[in-house]
Structure 1
Amino acid sequence: MTFRLHEGRLLRDDEPFTALGVTYFPVRAGCRLWVDWDPDVVAADLRRIADAGLNTVRVFVFWRDFHPEPGRVDAQALARLRRLVELADAAGLSCVLSVLTLFMNGQLLDLPWRGGRSLWRDPEMLAAQETFVRAVAATVADRANVLALDLGDEISNVDPDEAATLTSAEVAHWYGRLVGAIRQVAPEVLVCQANNALTVLGGSAFGPATGRVLDLLAVHGFPLWSPGHIESTLSPKATQLPAFLARLAGAYGVALVDELGTYGAGDEVAAAYLRASAASVLANGAAGVIVWCWQDSTSTAEPYDRRPAERMVGLHRADGTPKPAMAAYRQVVDAAPALVRTAGPARVAVWPVTGRPAGGGSYLDPHRDAVSPFFAYLLLKRLHVDADVVAAPAAGHRLLVCPSVDQVTLADLEHLRAALHRGATVYYSLGDHLHGFPGAELVGAEIVDYDLTGRDRQEIRWDGEVLPVDWAVAGAVPTTLRATSGRALAAYPDGTPAVVVNAVGAGRLVFTNVPFERQLDAAGRFALAPWERFYRRLTELAGVGPVVRCSDPEVEVVPVDGGVALVNHRDRAVTVRVGRDGDDPDADLVVDLTEKGWTVARLPMTPRRAASTTVGMA
């Protein structure tokens, strides 16, 4: 195989490779492409995909079409799969093959012989999966254009109730068995497994933290099916979510956004969403982006018979004419080399301290927070402060953000102490006051009691600035703090501490007993106040302001190989001033950005309009 990973980068023939592709179904055959096989149609479609400037195609291998009986994998179906991969290669396309496909468009395209048995616990089903993935891998093992095999797209949806009971160890064991089966016949092929935002952020065992045995960690970005009360497709939260998911997955491996698109949106809205989200994904370091999907379908077979609207989310209409989203995507594709990010670690990191569920489901189990790290990421983006998302603290991070922590383990506390003794500033907001409190020694304050009424806890006052607190949205119990070795930086109306700073080793811990990030999770609430000012105080304490300043908080600023990526996440055009921190403001670059538009700018030393100093403006 020509694809491999090196130092967190995807390479093809030892050269950096960014996957830029689409999910493919033939217009008429739809999900019956293997049964109603037409190689001439497939070949023509793949040539059109390549002619559109794309380099990757993602294809579903519907398990029931290949494995009609427990002991027999259909040789003809495997030959058709190999032929598709060959046709893709002839067109200049790499392939991502989603192998154990049972769940599609909200329906179960099940094996006739599974009989409801568990994919993850039944010995015969586990053996059958090994047999099948081994057969697929052997079929394409010598094809140099196979980018990756996906073990099973959103596979937890095959049986959501059972999937919710799986432990991380069980999922890791399942991954290991199937990866091992593939390696037996195709030792160099890359392997991934793709999940949607609800799975990635919802505390599922299928989240990125379990996938360390995988080569790529694939995530899906659809604003309609996401936590975080995303108000609309054009919400700034919507177009920043896929990049955050990629950053989160990237904490555990190499991230690939292998589904990106919209549902329930008009053509122009879909184009605007794709324009900003795809550019942001690449600028934030993903190995690639694969859009859902290439073309509308006219198929009336499963799963479209029950959900016909699923046929209408392509980049092209069924007659082949492009929708506005195709033009938006092509602009990103053409500018991808300038958007790609290979920067080193940032000075700031968001660490989602999630603890580990005990598995008992008792009243002692804390709330499993899905969205606080996302809101921490958004607040830093509004300040134009570049930040990593990490699985654990590392040397070099001057500010470590631990948002709305519900459960902290002894191992987590050791990581915190190590970061503090290295001299980091650690910000820690409290989610669950029992299981998330890191201890009075680190905090420099103790919890006196809880108070369900929340009296005099409705706002934080910090040097004359007031920020409201909504405990109902936070889903947390208000508490009273008493400072011990720490010093109060901010207070509630009754004068008790709301924010405390405490020196620990060479560093300091800044603590608040408000789940500050989680209390932002209500429709419309994020736009009600300049919440990022709270985080600005944290960055000032740590001495880690933005490297590049920008006049609009909803314009994302990311250092990339081509300069500085500027992504407008607003639903309207904006004109912004951009300059290096410390430079003369008169030398700022003036940049005009369309609705959800983006550009890559090279900052000048003298004032000028953006058109002369940008690459790939959209």
Structure 2
Amino acid sequence: MSAAVRFGVNYTPSVGWFHHWLDFDLDAVRADLDSIADLGLDHIRVFPLWPYFQPNRTLIRERAVADLVRLVDAAAERGLDVNVDGLQGHLSSFDFLPAWTRTWHRRNLFTDPEVVEGQAAYLRTLAAALADRPTFLGMTLGNEINQFSAAPHPDPDPATSEQIDAWLTRMLAACEEGAPGRLHLHAEYDATWYQDDQPFTPAQAARHGAVTAVHSWVFNGTAQRHGRTSVASEHHAAYLVELSKAWADDPRRPVWLQEVGAPAPLVPPEHAAAFTEATVAGVLDCPDLWGVTWWCSHDVSRDLADFPELEYGLGLLTNDRRPKDTARALERAARTGFTAPQRRTTALVVPADPGSRSLCAPGGPVYDAYFRLVADGARPTTVLDTRAADRDHLSARGITEVVTSDQVLPPHKDH
């Protein structure tokens, strides 16, 4: 891992959104990539749509895979490394699942043996197609695929944490079989860290794969509760990075802020650049940060229907590839020299029990205590309650002070 933090963007094609795979236009892709490279970024994360690439369990379309390789080669020509998400899965409020897993062929995404082997074959095929490309970073299993495993999804594929553990092991092994030694990982939305009954657990996020990935969105109650300029909103990404470290076995495990954005109307467009600057400054103060990958590159075209309103304006660039103020804010960060931050010496205790994750969620005592510490000028990290007295663990992480939520928050007063 390089000592320098990577800066990149999740690539949303300006023409056709992710449906561009149906009518792949390399010239349009090249123009998009030019506009990204002009910002001084060094990588993109790309999203093949699973049903378009594997419409039948035993049919992985060679032409689609070839188009993915052409995209990666075009990115390389512009100095951009590429991470590839495999199982899409879920994007911008839409689900994209192949027909062989739904309705008349309804089978569990995580536990059905034939589905699992079909997924493994797909991930292995994509990884193998790119294994000889030096700018291929590696595979992410899918985009926030944990949203299929439990509520609030309207039609979830239920699984136990043990079954999810086996699924993650199998999928990551398939990626490694296809492209040995690359940066293969999995990534979930923040229910993994906040939802008590979510079968994807913090321990899995922090121990499976080459790096830990976190996705930070302040529409999860943070901005609603505290406001866009609050300590909690501007440091939410840093909080997730440091929260993830409590469960890691490796005290220097890298953490990738793989998604973060400025969602309107909670962050109005005229304030998005300031939010971007504050968020990036906060997360750059986290040791062992692999990179920051903004959501997203280009706005969704207004010609496309039925997206939530906020999705249309999340791009760093407009639909006609003009950079916004947010793009310039990220560009400044990417082009500025980076000094590795000092270790964080104060650790807030968090529950190891995954059934108590809501204590860490917006409104929970761990969450509130963390941001009270930040507001008071501290640079906190976190430690599991089961490791809070483990001197070797604390020493390995540079922790010299351990505090609990009760010690940080004012006493509760009954009314």
Unaligned runs of 5+ in 2: none
Report the CA distance between 1:246 and its aligned residue.
Answer: 0.9
Structure with greater proportional strand content? 1
CA distances 1:397-447 after superposition (whole Å, capped 9, x unpaired):
33212336xxxxxxxxxxxxxxxxxxxxxx699xxxxxxxxxxxxxxxxxx
Q: Percent identity?
A: 27
> What are the equivalent positions in structure 2 for 1:166-177 lying under 5 Å apart?
166-177=159-170
CA distances 1:239-295 after superposition (whole Å, capped 9, x unpaired):
111011011223423211111112223222111111100121122132111111111
Q: Is 1:79 aligned with 2:66?
A: yes
> Is 163-172 or 16-25 further displaced after alignment?
163-172
CA contact (8 A) 1:353 1:402 kept: no
Report the CA distance between 1:157 and its aligned residue.
Answer: 1.8
CA distances 1:301-338 after superposition (whole Å, capped 9, x unpaired):
5xx43435522211122222222211221222222513
Secondary structure of 1:41's aligned partner:
helix
CA contact (8 A) 2:195 2:357 kept: no
Name the residue aligned to 2:334. Answer: 333
CA distance in 2 between counterparts of 1:220 and 1:41 reads 28
Question: Relative to 1, partners in 2 of residues 1:299 and 1:112: Cα closer, same or farther, differing over 3 Å?
Answer: farther
From the CA coordinates, give the structure whose radius of gyration is larger.
1
Name the residue aligned to 2:227. Answer: 232
Q: Is 1:281 aligned with 2:283?
A: yes
Q: Is 1:106 aligned with 2:93?
A: yes
Secondary structure of 1:150's aligned partner:
strand
Structure with greater proportional helix content? 2
Question: Relative to 1, partners in 2 of residues 1:190 and 1:329: Cα closer, same or farther, differing over 3 Å?
Answer: same
Which of 37, 52, 63 in structure 2 is aligned with 1:65?
52
CA distance in 1 between counterparts of 2:244 and 2:188 reads 11
Which of 106, 113, 119 in structure 1 is aligned with 2:109?
119
CA contact (8 A) 1:243 1:280 kept: yes
CA distance in 2 between counterparts of 1:337 and 1:70 reads 46
Report the CA distance between 1:149 and its aligned residue.
Answer: 1.2
CA distance in 2 between counterparts of 1:20 and 1:356 reads 31
> Considering only aligned residues, what root-mean-square deviation do their CA atoms show, in Å?
2.4
Structure 2 counterpart of 1:28, which letter? V
CA distance in 1 between counterparts of 2:374 and 2:311 reads 33
Which of 276, 294, 311 in structure 2 is aligned with 1:291?
294
Question: Relative to 1, partners in 2 of residues 1:165 and 1:334: Cα closer, same or farther, differing over 3 Å?
Answer: same
CA contact (8 A) 1:150 1:192 kept: yes
Question: Relative to 1, partners in 2 of residues 1:95 and 1:226: Cα closer, same or farther, differing over 3 Å?
Answer: farther
Which of 352, 355, 363 in structure 2 is aligned with 1:354?
352
Question: Relative to 1, partners in 2 of residues 1:381 and 1:428: Cα closer, same or farther, differing over 3 Å?
Answer: closer
Name the residue aligned to 1:585. Answer: none
Structure 2 counterpart of 1:381, which letter? V
> What are the equivalent positions in structure 2 for 1:299-318 lying under 5 Å apart?
300-301=303-304, 304-307=305-308, 309-318=310-319
CA distance in 2 between counterparts of 1:325 and 1:149 reads 27
Q: Is 1:133 aligned with 2:120?
A: no
Question: Relative to 1, partners in 2 of residues 1:314 and 1:80: Cα closer, same or farther, differing over 3 Å?
Answer: same
Q: Scaled by the length of structure 2, what TM-score is found? A: 0.86
Question: Relative to 1, partners in 2 of residues 1:298 and 1:126: Cα closer, same or farther, differing over 3 Å?
Answer: same
CA distance in 1 between counterparts of 2:291 and 2:120 reads 28
Unaligned runs of 5+ in 1: 1-9, 358-365, 405-426, 430-466, 473-618
Structure 2 counterpart of 1:63, which letter? W
Question: Relative to 1, partners in 2 of residues 1:399 and 1:100: Cα closer, same or farther, differing over 3 Å?
Answer: same
CA contact (8 A) 2:143 2:187 kept: yes
Secondary structure of 1:380's aligned partner:
helix
Name the residue aligned to 1:386. Answer: 379
CA distances 1:507-564 after superposition (whole Å, capped 9, x unpaired):
xxxxxxxxxxxxxxxxxxxxxxxxxxxxxxxxxxxxxxxxxxxxxxxxxxxxxxxxxx
CA contact (8 A) 2:202 2:354 kept: no
Query: Which is bigger in relative contact order (C-alpha 8 A, separation at least 6)?
Result: 2
Question: Relative to 1, partners in 2 of residues 1:368 and 1:57: Cα closer, same or farther, differing over 3 Å?
Answer: closer
Report the CA distance between 1:34 and its aligned residue.
Answer: 1.2
Question: Relative to 1, partners in 2 of residues 1:123 and 1:267: Cα closer, same or farther, differing over 3 Å?
Answer: same
Report the CA distance between 1:214 and its aligned residue.
Answer: 1.1
Report the CA distance between 1:223 and its aligned residue.
Answer: 0.8
Question: Relative to 1, partners in 2 of residues 1:352 and 1:119: Cα closer, same or farther, differing over 3 Å?
Answer: same
CA distances 1:22-73 after superposition (whole Å, capped 9, x unpaired):
1112212101121120111111221221121110111112101100111110
CA distance in 1 between counterparts of 2:59 and 2:157 reads 31
CA distance in 2 between counterparts of 1:240 and 1:261 reads 13
Secondary structure of 1:349's aligned partner:
strand
CA distance in 1 between counterparts of 2:53 and 2:157 reads 28
Secondary structure of 1:35's aligned partner:
helix
Structure 2 counterpart of 1:179, which letter? L
CA distance in 2 between counterparts of 1:21 and 1:144 reads 17
Q: Is 1:209 aligned with 2:203?
A: yes
Question: Relative to 1, partners in 2 of residues 1:314 and 1:428: Cα closer, same or farther, differing over 3 Å?
Answer: closer
CA distance in 2 between counterparts of 1:165 and 1:118 reads 7
Secondary structure of 1:33's aligned partner:
helix
CA distance in 2 between counterparts of 1:317 and 1:148 reads 28
The count of residues paired between Structure 1 and Structure 2 equals 387
Q: Is 1:258 aligned with 2:258?
A: yes
CA distances 1:471-499 after superposition (whole Å, capped 9, x unpaired):
69xxxxxxxxxxxxxxxxxxxxxxxxxxx
Q: Is 1:197 aligned with 2:227?
A: no
Secondary structure of 2:360's aligned partner:
coil
Structure 2 counterpart of 1:334, which letter? R
Name the residue aligned to 2:138. Answer: 148
Q: Is 1:399 aligned with 2:401?
A: yes
Report the CA distance between 1:300 and its aligned residue.
Answer: 4.1
Structure 2 counterpart of 1:105, which letter? S
CA distances 1:94-130 after superposition (whole Å, capped 9, x unpaired):
1121110111111212212212321111111111111
CA contact (8 A) 2:350 2:383 kept: yes
Secondary structure of 1:283's aligned partner:
coil
CA distance in 1 between counterparts of 2:242 and 2:394 reads 18
CA distance in 2 between counterparts of 1:299 and 1:65 reads 23
> What are the equivalent positions in structure 2 for 1:12-27 lying under 5 Å apart?
16-27=3-14
CA distance in 1 between counterparts of 2:145 and 2:225 reads 24
Which of 357, 368, 371 in structure 2 is aligned with 1:375?
368
Name the residue aligned to 1:219. Answer: 214
CA distance in 2 between counterparts of 1:356 and 1:88 reads 40
Name the residue aligned to 1:587. Answer: none
Structure 2 counterpart of 1:249, which letter? S
Structure 2 counterpart of 1:123, which letter? P
Q: Scaled by the length of structure 1, what TM-score is found? A: 0.59
CA distance in 2 between counterparts of 1:58 and 1:306 reads 21
CA contact (8 A) 2:13 2:20 kept: yes
CA distances 1:143-170 after superposition (whole Å, capped 9, x unpaired):
1112231111111223534869533322
CA distance in 1 between counterparts of 2:201 and 2:242 reads 13
Structure 1 counterpart of 2:69, which letter? R
